[in-house]
Amino acid sequence: MTHKKQAILDSAQYLIASQGYDATSTRSIAKRAKVSEGLIFRHFENKEGLMQSLLKRGEVTMEEPILNIESLTHPKVIMKHLIGLPFNLNEVQRDFLKIYYPLMFKFKYDQLEFLSRIHDKALAAFKALDYSDPNAEAETFMMILEGAFVYMLLEKSSQPFILFETLLLKYELS
């Protein structure tokens, strides 16, 4: 991966995250990356292909916190960490999700892998905690988490920590 290819990916990530895919021209991506427009297509074949690379790279940035959680064993600790996910995003992860969400509204974009891994972990936890209907609980939990992600990405809350704590309370984890 050359330096310029990196620059293209970074530029695209930034611009698409803030303006959306359609509204971001390859021209503007190239300019921000200080690169000729043609180079984009030598490295990625397509604007669509560039997007795919972006998503692939994005999944990687989500790997670390998930792996971290997957190494845990105590269900209450697991739940605590799962709930914490939307409230502890770094900038790269935020940019990735800002790209990912609008995409889902355009195409019925395939579920990302990390979401299903969260689901599995939550399901196991609910079972361990003897919830009466762990499947329903797990899906509902995913729905709530989705809300938290969106809420955080859109910066709708001025005190996110309170939301986090309230959720913990709801699941009797504090």
Contact positions vs a copy of itself (CB under 8 A): 19-23, 98, 101-102, 104-106, 108, 111, 133, 136-137, 139-140, 142-148, 150-151, 153-157, 162-163, 165-167, 170
User: What tokens appear for 130 in the block?
Assistant: 């003897």
Q: Tell me how far, at minimum, the Cβ of 4 lies from DNA, in Å.
A: 4
For DNA (CB under 7 A), the number of binding residues is 23
Question: DSSP letters along the chain, please?
Answer: --HHHHHHHHHHHHHHHHH-TTT--HHHHHHHHTS-HHHHHHHHSSHHHHHHHHHHHHHHHHHHHHHHHHT---HHHHHHHHHHGGGG--HHHHHHHHHHHHHHHHS-----HHHHHHHHHHHHHHHHTT-SSHHHHHHHHHHHHHHHHHHHHTT--S-HHHHHHHHHHHTT--
- State yes or no: residue 39 binds DNA (CB under 7 A): yes
2 binds DNA (CB under 7 A): yes
Q: Which CB, 9 or 145, lies closer to DNA? A: 9
Among 9, 15, 17, 35, binds DNA (CB under 7 A): 35
Question: Which CB sits closer to a copy of itself, 63 or 133?
Answer: 133
User: Pick from a copy of itself, DNA, none: which does 48 bind, CB < 5 to 8 A by kind?
Assistant: DNA
Please state the closest distance from residue 146 (CB atom) to a copy of itself, in A: 4
Contact 173, 80 (CB under 8 A): yes
151 makes contact, choosing from DNA, a copy of itself, none, with CB < 5 to 8 Å by partner type, with a copy of itself
Residues in the chain: 174
C-alpha dihedral over 75, 83, 89, 9, to 10 degrees?
80
The residue among 9 and 149 lying less far from a copy of itself, judged by its C-beta, is 149
**Could you say whether residue 25 binds DNA (CB under 7 A)?**
yes
Binding site for DNA (CB under 7 A): 2-5, 24-28, 34-43, 45-48
